[in-house]
Structure 1
Amino acid sequence: MDIRLISNHDTHHAYCMILTKYRVYQGVALYRSLMYNAGSARIFILCMDHETKELLNQMNLQGVTLIPVSAIEDASIMLIKKDRKINEYCWTLKPVFLIYILNSFNNEIKRVTYVDADGCFFTDPNVIFDTQKNCSVLLSKHNYSSNLQYVEKDAGKYNSGFISFLNDSNGMNTLKWWRDQCFNWCYDRAENGKFGDQKYLETMPRLFNKVCDITTPGVNIGPWNDLYSTPRILDGKVYLNNDSLIFYHFAGLRIISENELVYILGFNKLLKEHVYYPYISVIKKVIDDIRKIDPDFYGFYDRAGLRGKKHHKLVN
């Protein structure tokens, strides 16, 4: 991907993600997809381990601010850390990280959008925010395919892998409430109407003002809602049915090695050529580039984690 030099990107809008070393390959792919499609962007990355921060420092990524996890860990958070698995801890830190950015860069950042590292932009996302400028919180609905609607009861109406907050009183109050809920309970299981950091999102529209569903189509498409999507290319962009694909969420994809990427969720096989294979090509290029910078860096998923799980090998 070549990065365009001219952009109408809002310099007061930032993106952020949380990375462990096992998500670095996907995180860099996400970064490149955003820079390519938006032209430029301000991106904050919370580095959950020393290896991640050291490597990304060496990559000297344009527009990126690296934040070590120690910068947001206080005594109370460290107590919570002892009780959570790494994925649960990362979920717990989402609202903490968002609050940190809005407080620390208050004069610069007017909106911050969190994106999960296993996502990819396929076109400029600015239309999302231009369309709903007055919304303090923007939530992305799962919009489950009919065969998966039963999942909503446990996993929730909304997906927390793409969520955006204005730096105003509504946005900050919502964030602080979400942080407090996650401090109290954030685990990788469904229990008493809760699931990770995600089910809490359903309560936000009832408690706070200007909490909106994202109305722009093509945002946070994933295995939960792509079943009936037919891809086509128009003017070099991917469309699913009649809607431009803005952000696809590759939830369930695991990178075992450079030549072995597997999927532990079902997905629409029609999307392989125009969605999955281009993404895999970017991932492979990222792995190759990182190997040149640090041959000893190892960010592959442990194959043992696939035991007992149905998975499909993706070959490009």
Structure 2
Amino acid sequence: MSICSNNYFPYVRILFNSLLKYHPESKLFLCLADKQDSLFPLEIENITIIEAEKLNIPDFYDFAFRYDIMEFNTAVKPFMMQLLIEEYNFDQVVYLDPDIELFSPMESVFLALDNGSNFVITPHITKPSEENTYPGDIGVMQSGIYNLGFIAVNNSHQVINFLHWWGRKLRFYCVNEQHNGIFVDQKFVDLLPAFYDNVKILKDTNINVAYWNLLQRNLEKKEQSWFVDGQPLVFFHFSGININNNQRLSKHTNAFHGNLSEDLQELIDNYISKLKYYSFQNNIMPKYCYGNFTNGVFISTIIRQIYRKLKNVWYENPFLSFCDYLNQFNRSFNNNLSDFPLTNLMVFFWESRLDLQQSFNIFNNNKDRKRYTFWFLETAEENQFEYYFLQPILDKISGKLSHYKSLSFSQKKSQFPINVIGYLKTETGVGQAGRMVINSLQSVNINVKGYHIDNNFVRQNDFQVRDLLVSKINSPIHIYKVNADQLGIVQQEVKNYRNKPDFTINMPAWELSKFPQEWVANYGNIDEVWVESKFVQVALQAKLSLPVLFMPPAVVIGNVKAVNREYFNLPKDRFLFHFNFDFASFSSRKNPEAVITAYRKAFRHQKSDISTGLVIKTRGYDPDNKNYQKLLEIIEEEDDIIVINEYLNHSEVMALMNCCDCYVSLHCSEGFGYTLAEAMLLGKPVIATNYSGNCDFINQETGFPVDYKLVSLKPDEYPFAQGQKWAKPDLNHAAWIMQKIVENHSETQNIALAGQNKIAVDYSPINAGKRYIKRLQKLGLI
């Protein structure tokens, strides 16, 4: 038997195939520490798969919730072995980790069992290990004398008693806390030889060979067979191997890293070759079914640790209810200092770290409590706390930070328009966003005027709101639709053309998770900030001592030029992917190269009955054409990748998007993602990095989110890059999605339709306008 989650199927395929080769008489079982996924079948015949949930584990969801994926995979071991002995009545059971491969029969194991040993285990090392590399003697003592990647047992009362004892311990204590003397299931088995006499400690050096003992053993290949210390290798344990690095045996040690012996290099190369053969299409990793709350929110390690410390058993399903408990405001800490109430998560996190306790006195110091609140928001991303856990904090502090006093009744007259100040004629994204603010306010019958800020660097020929523009600002309410870096400059420019406002709102765009401290000073005369995404809300609220509110914007397509593909010289008979970006928004952030690479991965070497193409539309300021030339060089001699680098008005841009079949954005970060929302409104399936502002409207139901990992920005990649992180999209995952979209038209269209409805309803001008007016009414401004 073995145990793994879906993501380890490539490993367990190697194990089971080697077992079938050397022990064809055996019955093979897999305990799936996950749920079966039809998209990722095991694809090996005669293997019995038993999901962990089907085992006799008390309070299963409590059990699954308290452990991360590694801990959970080890915690189910005694329960699976109990099942095979007590219900299937097997005489002998052998457990092997999924990252093991057999090279000859396990004769010594079965000989020990046949000779009456109830247990067979192998020590990590069989002689002193005093090398300077991990694990050595001390590391072995910390993690466990015996390696529990292997254990064999007979069906006996002793074994049954032990498995039940082991299961009781792992029910609550299967944790990776070596500093506390516990290492998952493994450390408990140090006690096994003390409990029972008939324990065979198998010291044969040709069995369970791995990075932890290979320095003490001689691996060699003779006549196409593997030997260790002159004996045939029985099985090798490839713990910590990396499919993308054949120069390192294991990520867990610096030993066997570069300059490998010829024989070891061949062994590693062979195993990695098999891993690649058995890997999923495009190396896509299945999702772990116990990795998220039922509502989709990620369960971080710290959340599991908090859960374990609370009580032994959560009497409800924690996947359903524990997230709500974490979001409740802590009663013990919120009796007196109510200006900045703390959620349970905030309190438990503070209690878990000594450095936080030393830095913030949250008991009786309101200033420290405020500082801790802002610190919690600013570091939420690196601590893996999703927006869900920040929303109650943001809702509370936005009210606490507001210092506005309502206008008197006499001032609330309809003759006072709301003034929107921005680049209202410019043919840019920020210009269009400003015009949409005016459009949204008009849609709910608000008296609104616009004041245009000249920008000589871009075209200023958009006259959608020309009739509403004024040369003098005369209103008690000003909305600045300009970004933070220009806010001070714009305010100074219009200073001589306006009456002093009673209330000033800024609606900036920003694209990274941390807001620059250098721009905070620009907000001295601002009363409130409205932002387009939850991502930006967290970034700004962590820095600004004034309310920052999430106000989803309006998204409209406008008039779409009635043209077909021929107008743009596009092929008629291809499924076309599309990406549109502005060089002025930084190609490093927009990441067009990633779209190209993912497209190549999807279709260069994959057979398909449908021809495909990729259309990239570029625009904006590109100094010296450097980035544009780089883009052309990347796609040289690839006739199915088309770059359009010419001016198109908004109607033509929408027409081009409409002529293509699917929109792709593998951005590193987005403040909102207007082109994605526009494509969705056109009814196109949208593939997008599952990070930043677009996550408000793109999920599994409305689009095709792409996995990513966070990486640190290089100093020259983006303004204010120091200390920032953004997403590196998983291009294998993106390529896989591209293939699925081409292959599964009906399913794709259902998701695209849901996405279209999402934007049409939630991001309509009238609903955006209703949100604006609701807030202004709450403030007493209208």
TM-score range, shorter chain: 0.7 to 0.9
Go from structure 1 to structure 2 and tell me whether the alpha carbon gap of 1:185 and 1:131 turns closer, same or farther (over 3 Å shift): closer
1:100 deviates by: 1.2
Answering whether residue 71 of structure 2 is matched by residue 88 of structure 1, we say yes
Unaligned runs of 5+ in 1: 1-15, 308-316
Counterpart in the other structure of 2:208: 220
**Contact 1:47–1:53 (CA under 8 A) maintained in structure 2:** no
Q: How does 1:23-62 map to 2 (within 5 A)?
A: 23-51=8-36, 55-56=40-41, 59=43, 61-62=44-45
Go from structure 1 to structure 2 and tell me whether the alpha carbon gap of 1:175 and 1:64 turns closer, same or farther (over 3 Å shift): same
CA distance in 2, matches of 1:180, 1:100: 15
Unaligned runs of 5+ in 2: 289-706, 713-782
C-alpha deviations, 1:136-158, integer Å up to 9, x for none? 01111000743211212211111
Counterpart in the other structure of 1:210: 198
Q: Pairwise CA RMSD of aligned residues?
A: 3.0
- 2:119 pairs, out of 119, 137, 155, with 137
1:27 deviates by: 0.7
Aligned residue pair count:
282
Which has the greater radius of gyration?
2
Task: Look up the equivalent residue of 2:188 and give its one-letter code.
Answer: Y
CA distance in 2, matches of 1:225, 1:129: 23
Go from structure 1 to structure 2 and tell me whether the alpha carbon gap of 1:41 and 1:297 turns closer, same or farther (over 3 Å shift): farther
CA distance in 2, matches of 1:35, 1:55: 21
C-alpha deviations, 1:221-241, integer Å up to 9, x for none? 110000143332335320122
Counterpart in the other structure of 1:122: 103
CA distance in 2, matches of 1:103, 1:237: 38
1:76 deviates by: 2.2
Counterpart in the other structure of 1:282: 274
Answering whether residue 217 of structure 2 is matched by residue 229 of structure 1, we say yes
Go from structure 1 to structure 2 and tell me whether the alpha carbon gap of 1:241 and 1:216 turns closer, same or farther (over 3 Å shift): closer
CA distance in 2, matches of 1:43, 1:237: 25
Answering whether residue 228 of structure 2 is matched by residue 240 of structure 1, we say yes
Counterpart in the other structure of 2:50: 67
3-state SS of 2:50 partner: strand
Counterpart in the other structure of 1:11: none
C-alpha deviations, 1:158-207, integer Å up to 9, x for none? 11100111111111111111111211311112144322111111101111
Go from structure 1 to structure 2 and tell me whether the alpha carbon gap of 1:260 and 1:180 turns closer, same or farther (over 3 Å shift): same
C-alpha deviations, 1:74-107, integer Å up to 9, x for none? 442322222111211111111111111112211x
CA distance in 2, matches of 1:142, 1:306: 35
Moved more, 298-307 or 159-168: 298-307
Go from structure 1 to structure 2 and tell me whether the alpha carbon gap of 1:246 and 1:185 turns closer, same or farther (over 3 Å shift): same
1:297 deviates by: 5.5
Counterpart in the other structure of 2:166: 178
- 1:298 pairs, out of 273, 276, 285, with 285
- TM-score, normalization: structure 2? 0.34
3-state SS of 1:253 partner: coil
3-state SS of 2:278 partner: helix
Task: Look up the equivalent residue of 2:273 and give its one-letter code.
Answer: S
Task: Look up the equivalent residue of 1:25 and give its one-letter code.
Answer: P
Go from structure 1 to structure 2 and tell me whether the alpha carbon gap of 1:103 and 1:131 turns closer, same or farther (over 3 Å shift): closer
Counterpart in the other structure of 1:146: 130
3-state SS of 1:254 partner: coil
Counterpart in the other structure of 2:681: none
3-state SS of 1:227 partner: helix
Answering whether residue 60 of structure 2 is matched by residue 77 of structure 1, we say yes
CA distance in 1, matches of 2:179, 2:117: 30
**Contact 2:112–2:120 (CA under 8 A) maintained in structure 1:** no
Moved more, 96-105 or 228-237: 228-237
Counterpart in the other structure of 1:17: 2
CA distance in 2, matches of 1:103, 1:84: 26
Go from structure 1 to structure 2 and tell me whether the alpha carbon gap of 1:43 and 1:263 turns closer, same or farther (over 3 Å shift): same
Go from structure 1 to structure 2 and tell me whether the alpha carbon gap of 1:272 and 1:101 turns closer, same or farther (over 3 Å shift): same
Structure showing the higher strand proportion among its residues: 1
CA distance in 1, matches of 2:275, 2:61: 33
Counterpart in the other structure of 2:507: none
CA distance in 1, matches of 2:247, 2:56: 35
CA distance in 2, matches of 1:118, 1:239: 19
Moved more, 116-125 or 141-150: 141-150
Counterpart in the other structure of 1:110: 91
3-state SS of 1:283 partner: helix
Counterpart in the other structure of 1:3: none
Go from structure 1 to structure 2 and tell me whether the alpha carbon gap of 1:128 and 1:255 turns closer, same or farther (over 3 Å shift): same
CA distance in 2, matches of 1:209, 1:231: 32
